[in-house]
Amino acid sequence: MSKLLFAKLFYTLGVSNFLRKNKRDGITILNLHRVSPEEDYFWNPMKPASFESLLKYLIKHYNIIQFKEIEYTRNGSSKKPLAILSFDDGYKDFYEYALPLLVKYKLPSNHNIVNECAHHNKAIWTQRLNAVFNSAMNDKQSLEFVFEKTKFSIKDFKSWMAFYLSIFKKMLNMADAEREELISQKEHLIKINCKVEMMNWAEIAECASHKVEIGSHTFSHDVISTIKQPEILEKEITSSIKEINERLNQSTDIIAWPNGQTSNSAEAIALQAGIKYSLHVGEKINFSGEQPQNIFYRINLVEEPLSSIILRTELFYSKLKNYVGV
Ligand SMILES: [Zn+2]
């Protein structure tokens, strides 16, 4: 049975209703990135129509709140389970496609932004890597990486996605300068210049005026777990928060770790900087007392058929993995 038929069957059987019942006082935090009609094979943006369908589903079955409401809505004051819509990166398509829908349905959300992207429209390294792979795959250009004298190319993998994920994981362990040089080299070879539109400070301020809680996604979107120097960690965390607060005249207590990677020293600096919500990635519902009280897990969503998006929201796939090991 195809994956789509499988998802549709389970959705029709009411599995999502059943799974939702187990959530009780738990908070479901959904992690979204781009909402756009554009296509990206390696990280497909959610289509605006899919996003609107997801919102309709959430409105029906959840009480959608902001992080700052957790304290007083948790523990039984809400009849429906709680959910938070948490966006990362600060793509301009949030402003163009997601914000109008959130305003239409009067829904709050959270968006964690990268200072350097808001300053000068910087493209995040993951987006640049996606652009390199999309271009190589579509134009059948040769793409080769060498790590410790071992070569990696599409010939070594079952699919372009497997090739991409393997290189992405290697880059997660690289220091910023080394990763930057490697991506620049490939961009030069393939002759591409990754152009994306990120929100500027004025657009971010406008979001904030429409019930979007603005948090930090660090200063540059470096891989935080690879940073050893305390002064660089301070810049990524404390300076990011300070600038967001000054520019938006607010006091943020939210940080989302890029690619879900962090370290004990980064967490300690964030706590010192007043962070109450340290956002990780993980297929988990947040129950009070199950983890340190400032740590929250988010379920990652990308474009998929609606039945799959909903089953993912209800953690169907991760539960299935636990039961049958698929
Ligand atoms: Zn990010």
Q: Based on C-alpha coordinates, what's the Rg of the chain?
A: 20
Cα(18) to centroid(ligand 1), Å:
32
Mean pLDDT (the chain) is 90
Closest CA to 298 of 90, 56, 10, 27: 27
Cα(9) to centroid(ligand 1), Å:
33
pLDDT digits (tens, 9 = 90+) for 77-108: 678 899 999 999 999 999 999 999 999 999 99
Q: Is the pLDDT of residue 325 over 60?
A: no
Cα(127) to centroid(ligand 1), Å:
9
What's the CA gap between 196 and 33, in Å, rounded? 13
CATH number of the structural domain spanning residue 22: 3.20.20.370
Long-range contact pairs involving 199-205 (C-beta distance under 8 Å, separation at least 24): 199/90, 199/91, 199/92, 199/94, 199/95, 199/113, 199/117, 199/118, 200/118, 200/121, 201/118, 201/247, 201/248, 203/92, 203/95, 204/90, 204/111, 204/113, 204/118, 204/247, 204/248, 205/247, 205/248
Residue 6: pLDDT band (50, 70, 90) is low
pLDDT at position 10: 64
Cα(258) to centroid(ligand 1), Å:
5
**Domain identity same for 308 and 245:** yes
End-to-end CA distance of the chain: 14
Residue 250 belongs to domain spanning: 3-122+197-324
Cα(110) to centroid(ligand 1), Å:
14
What's the CA gap between 179 and 162, in Å, rounded? 19
**Domain identity same for 108 and 130:** no
pLDDT digits (tens, 9 = 90+) for 183-212: 999 999 999 988 889 999 999 999 999 999
Residue 321: pLDDT band (50, 70, 90) is low
What's the CA gap between 190 and 135, in Å, rounded? 8
**Domain identity same for 99 and 239:** yes
Structure-token match 């983890």, residue found: 291
CB 241 within 8 A of CB 275: yes
Cα(112) to centroid(ligand 1), Å:
8
**Domain identity same for 72 and 202:** yes
Cα(196) to centroid(ligand 1), Å:
14
Give the number of domains in the chain: 2
Last residue within a domain, chosen from 173, 190, 207 = 190
**Domain identity same for 107 and 247:** yes
Return all residues near 318 (Cβ < 8 A) that are at least 6 apart.
283
Last residue within a domain, chosen from 190, 205, 239 = 190
Q: What share of the chain is helix, strand, coil (3-state, %, to 5)?
A: 50, 15, 35
**Domain identity same for 239 and 102:** yes
Residue 326: pLDDT band (50, 70, 90) is very low
What's the CA gap between 113 and 87, in Å, rounded? 9
Cα(77) to centroid(ligand 1), Å:
33
Regarding beta strands 109-113 and 145-147, do their DSSP bridges make them parallel or antiparallel, or are they unpaired? unpaired
Cα(118) to centroid(ligand 1), Å:
13
Q: Computed from CA positions of residues 278, 283, 284, 285, in that sequence, does the dihedral angle turn out positive or negative?
A: positive
pLDDT at position 322: 60
pLDDT at position 272: 95
Q: Is the pLDDT of residue 323 over 60?
A: no
Cα(21) to centroid(ligand 1), Å:
31
**Domain identity same for 170 and 38:** no
pLDDT digits (tens, 9 = 90+) for 228-281: 999 999 999 999 999 999 999 999 999 999 999 999 999 999 999 999 999 999
CB 212 within 8 A of CB 109: yes
pLDDT digits (tens, 9 = 90+) for 102-161: 999 999 999 999 999 999 999 999 999 999 999 999 888 889 998 888 899 999 999 999
DSSP string, 222-254: --GGG---HHHHHIIIIIHHHHHHHHHTS---E
**Domain identity same for 64 and 137:** no
pLDDT at position 15: 66
Q: Is 325 left (phi over 0), alpha (psi -120 to 50) or beta?
A: left
Residue 297: pLDDT band (50, 70, 90) is very high
**Domain identity same for 258 and 304:** yes
Closest CA to 49 of 100, 106, 110: 100
**Domain identity same for 210 and 315:** yes
**Domain identity same for 157 and 285:** no
Closest CA to 189 of 227, 110, 133, 239: 133
CB 90 within 8 A of CB 163: no
Last residue within a domain, chosen from 174, 190, 206 = 190
Cα(257) to centroid(ligand 1), Å:
8
**Domain identity same for 141 and 220:** no
pLDDT at position 315: 87
Closest CA to 88 of 260, 245, 274: 260
Cα(131) to centroid(ligand 1), Å:
15
